[in-house]
Chains A and B, each alone.
Chain A
Amino acid sequence: MTNGWIDIKNTDMMLIMGGNPAENHPCGFKWAVEAKIHRNAKTIVVDPRLTRTAANADMYVQIRAGADIAFLGGVIRYAVENSRIAKDYLVNYTNASFIIKDGFALPEDGLFSGFDPEKKVYDKKTWNYEEGGDLAGKPVAATPPEKTPPPLPAGAAPPPPALPPNVAFDLTLQHPRCVYQLLKKQYERYTPEMVERITGIPKDQFLKAADLFTSVRKDGDMKKVATIIYAVGWTQHSFGTQIIRTAAILQLLMGNVGRAGGGVNALRGHSNIQGATDMAGIFDILPGYLKMPNPADVDLATFLKRTTPTESKPDPWESFNYWSNTPKFTVSFLKAMYGAAATKENDWAFNYLPKIDRNYSWVNIWNDMYEGKIKGIFAFGMNGVMIGPDSNKNIDALKKADWLVVCEIYPDETSEFWRAPGITADDQKKINTTVYRLPGAGFAEKDGTFVNSARWLQWKNVAVPPPGQARLDQEILATIFLKVRELYKKEGGKFPDPVLNATFAYTNPYNPSLAEVAKEINGKALADITDPKTNTTIKAGQQLPGFAWLKDDGTTISGNWLYCGSWTEAGAMMQRRGTDDPSGLGIYPNWGWSWPANRRVLYNRASCDVDGKPWDPSRRQVWWDEAKQSWVGVDVPDFKVDSAPKDHMGPFIMNPDGVGRLFVPLGGMQDGPFPEFYEPIESPLANLLHPNQSNNPVVKRYKTDMDKYASTGDKEYNIICTTYRLTEHYHYWTKNNPMNVQLVPEPFIEVPAELADRMGIRGGEKVKVTSARSHYIAKAMVTRRIRPMQIDGKETFQIGIPIHWGFRGIVEDEDRTAKTLANQLTPTIIDPNAFTPEFKGFLVKIEKA
Chain B
Amino acid sequence: MADRKALQAEMISGHSGPAPGHGMQRDLEVCKLVDTTTCIGCKACEVACAEWNDLPFSPTTFDNTYQTMPETRWNFWNLIKFNEHQNPDGTIQWLMRKDQCMHCADPGCLAACPADGAIVKYANGIVDFNQENCIGCEFCVSGCPFNIPRFNPATKRVYKCTLCSDRVGEGLEPACIKACPTGCLKFGTKDDMKFIAEERTKQLRDNFGWKNAGVYDPQSVGGTHVIYVLHDATDPERYGNLPSNPQIPWSYTVWKWLFKPVLGTFALFGFLGVVLHYVTSGPRRTQPEPPAKDGANVNV
A: residues with CB less than 8 A from B are 22-23, 26-27, 29-30, 33-34, 36-38, 40, 50, 52-56, 58, 60, 727-728, 738-739, 742-746, 748, 753, 763-764, 779-785, 787
Which of B43, B46, B64, B91 has the most chain A CB atoms closer than 10 A to its own CB? B64
Q: Cβ of B209: which chain A residues have Cβ within 8 Å of it?
A: 58
A26-B64 in contact given A52-B42, A784-B298 (Cβ < 8 Å): no
Which of B182, B209, B296, B298 has the most chain A CB atoms closer than 10 A to its own CB? B182
Instruction: Say whether A738 contacts B57, CB under 8 Å.
Output: yes
A-B contact pairs, 28 of them (CB 8 A): A23-B40, A26-B42, A29-B181, A29-B182, A36-B38, A37-B38, A40-B203, A52-B42, A52-B96, A58-B208, A739-B50, A739-B51, A743-B46, A743-B47, A743-B68, A744-B62, A745-B62, A753-B298, A763-B63, A779-B62, A779-B64, A780-B64, A781-B62, A781-B65, A782-B64, A782-B298, A783-B84, A787-B92
Q: Cβ of A54: which chain B residues have Cβ within 8 Å of it?
A: 94
Q: Cβ of A60: which chain B residues have Cβ within 8 Å of it?
A: 91
Complex: A780 Cα to B298 Cα, angstroms: 12
B58 in the interface, Cβ–Cβ < 8 Å?
A: yes
**Chain B 47-66 near chain A by CB (<8 Å), digits 1 or 0:** 10011000001111111111
Complex: A282 Cα to B253 Cα, angstroms: 70
B300 in the interface, Cβ–Cβ < 8 Å?
A: yes
B230 in the interface, Cβ–Cβ < 8 Å?
A: no
Complex: A37 Cα to B84 Cα, angstroms: 24
Instruction: Say whether B40 contacts A22, CB under 8 Å.
Output: yes
Instruction: Say whether B16 contacts A742, CB under 8 Å.
Output: no
Instruction: Say whether A33 contacts B60, CB under 8 Å.
Output: no
> Which 10 pairs, one residue from A and one from B, show the smallest C-beta to C-beta distance?
A763-B64, A22-B40, A55-B94, A26-B42, A746-B62, A27-B181, A40-B207, A26-B181, A33-B182, A33-B38
Seed contacts A742-B58, A781-B64; 7 additional CB < 8 Å A-B pairs: A22-B41, A58-B209, A727-B41, A743-B60, A764-B63, A781-B65, A783-B84
Complex: A54 Cα to B296 Cα, angstroms: 18
Q: Cβ of A727: which chain B residues have Cβ within 8 Å of it?
A: 40-43
**Chain B 269-300 near chain A by CB (<8 Å), digits 1 or 0:** 00000000000000000000000000010101
Which of B37, B38, B60, B91 has the most chain A CB atoms closer than 10 A to its own CB? B38
**Chain B 14-49 near chain A by CB (<8 Å), digits 1 or 0:** 101000000000000000000001101111101100
Instruction: Say whether B47 contacts A785, CB under 8 Å.
Output: no
Instruction: Say whether B64 contacts A764, CB under 8 Å.
Output: yes
B200 in the interface, Cβ–Cβ < 8 Å?
A: yes
A-B contact count (CB 8 A): 113
B246 in the interface, Cβ–Cβ < 8 Å?
A: no
**What is the distance, in angstroms, from B179's C-beta to the closest C-beta of chain A?**
10
In the complex, which residue of chain B has the Cβ closest to the Cβ of A780?
A: B64
A26-B182 in contact given A55-B94, A739-B47, A782-B64 (Cβ < 8 Å): yes
Q: Cβ of B300: which chain A residues have Cβ within 8 Å of it?
A: 763
Q: How many residues belonging to B are interface residues under a CB distance threshold of 8 Å? A: 44
Select B92's contact among A50, A56, A739, A742, beta carbons within 8 Å.
A50
**What is the distance, in angstroms, from B102's C-beta to the closest C-beta of chain A?**
23
Q: Cβ of A29: which chain B residues have Cβ within 8 Å of it?
A: 40, 181-182
Q: Cβ of B91: which chain A residues have Cβ within 8 Å of it?
A: 60
In the complex, which residue of chain B has the Cβ closest to the Cβ of A34?
A: B16
**Chain B 236-272 near chain A by CB (<8 Å), digits 1 or 0:** 0000000000000000000000000000000000000
A784-B68 in contact given A30-B182, A37-B38, A746-B62 (Cβ < 8 Å): no
**What is the distance, in angstroms, from B282's C-beta to the closest C-beta of chain A?**
30
A37-B43 in contact given A742-B68, A785-B94 (Cβ < 8 Å): no
In the complex, which residue of chain B has the Cβ closest to the Cβ of A20?
A: B40
Q: Cβ of A37: which chain B residues have Cβ within 8 Å of it?
A: 38, 200, 203
B218 in the interface, Cβ–Cβ < 8 Å?
A: no
**Chain B 193-215 near chain A by CB (<8 Å), digits 1 or 0:** 00000001001000111000000
Complex: A764 Cα to B65 Cα, angstroms: 9
Instruction: Say whether A52 contacts B38, CB under 8 Å.
Output: no
B130 in the interface, Cβ–Cβ < 8 Å?
A: no
- DSSP class of B's interface residues: helix, strand, loop or mixed? loop
**What is the distance, in angstroms, from B149's C-beta to the closest C-beta of chain A?**
21
Complex: A34 Cα to B50 Cα, angstroms: 27
**What is the distance, in angstroms, from B143's C-beta to the closest C-beta of chain A?**
29
Select B86's contact among A52, A781, A784, beta carbons within 8 Å.
A784
Instruction: Say whether A728 contacts B43, CB under 8 Å.
Output: yes
**What is the distance, in angstroms, from A305's C-beta to the closest C-beta of chain B?**
49
Complex: A783 Cα to B93 Cα, angstroms: 12
Instruction: Say whether A52 contacts B46, CB under 8 Å.
Output: no
B70 in the interface, Cβ–Cβ < 8 Å?
A: no
In the complex, which residue of chain A has the Cβ closest to the Cβ of B209?
A: A58
Q: Cβ of A746: which chain B residues have Cβ within 8 Å of it?
A: 61-62
Select B96's contact among A27, A36, A55, beta carbons within 8 Å.
A55
Complex: A707 Cα to B50 Cα, angstroms: 46
Instruction: Say whether A50 contacts B65, CB under 8 Å.
Output: no
Q: Cβ of B207: which chain A residues have Cβ within 8 Å of it?
A: 40
B184 in the interface, Cβ–Cβ < 8 Å?
A: yes
Instruction: Say whether A785 contacts B92, CB under 8 Å.
Output: yes
B117 in the interface, Cβ–Cβ < 8 Å?
A: no
B171 in the interface, Cβ–Cβ < 8 Å?
A: no
In the complex, which residue of chain A has the Cβ closest to the Cβ of B62?
A: A746
Q: Cβ of B41: which chain A residues have Cβ within 8 Å of it?
A: 22, 52, 55, 727
Select A745's contact among B60, B86, B92, B96, beta carbons within 8 Å.
B60
Q: Cβ of A50: which chain B residues have Cβ within 8 Å of it?
A: 92, 94
Complex: A787 Cα to B296 Cα, angstroms: 12
Q: Cβ of A34: which chain B residues have Cβ within 8 Å of it?
A: 14, 16, 183
Complex: A744 Cα to B208 Cα, angstroms: 32
Instruction: Say whether A745 contacts B38, CB under 8 Å.
Output: no
In the complex, which residue of chain A has the Cβ closest to the Cβ of B206?
A: A40
Instruction: Say whether B38 contacts A56, CB under 8 Å.
Output: yes
Select B40's contact among A52, A745, A781, beta carbons within 8 Å.
A52
**What is the distance, in angstroms, from B198's C-beta to the closest C-beta of chain A?**
14
Complex: A37 Cα to B62 Cα, angstroms: 35
Which of A27, A728, A743, A763 has the most chain B CB atoms closer than 10 A to its own CB? A743
Instruction: Say whether A26 contacts B40, CB under 8 Å.
Output: yes
Instruction: Say whether B182 contacts A745, CB under 8 Å.
Output: no
**What is the distance, in angstroms, from B99's C-beta to the closest C-beta of chain A?**
15
Complex: A748 Cα to B64 Cα, angstroms: 9
**What is the distance, in angstroms, from A10's C-beta to the closest C-beta of chain B?**
12
Q: Cβ of B93: which chain A residues have Cβ within 8 Å of it?
A: 55
Instruction: Say whether A785 contacts B84, CB under 8 Å.
Output: yes
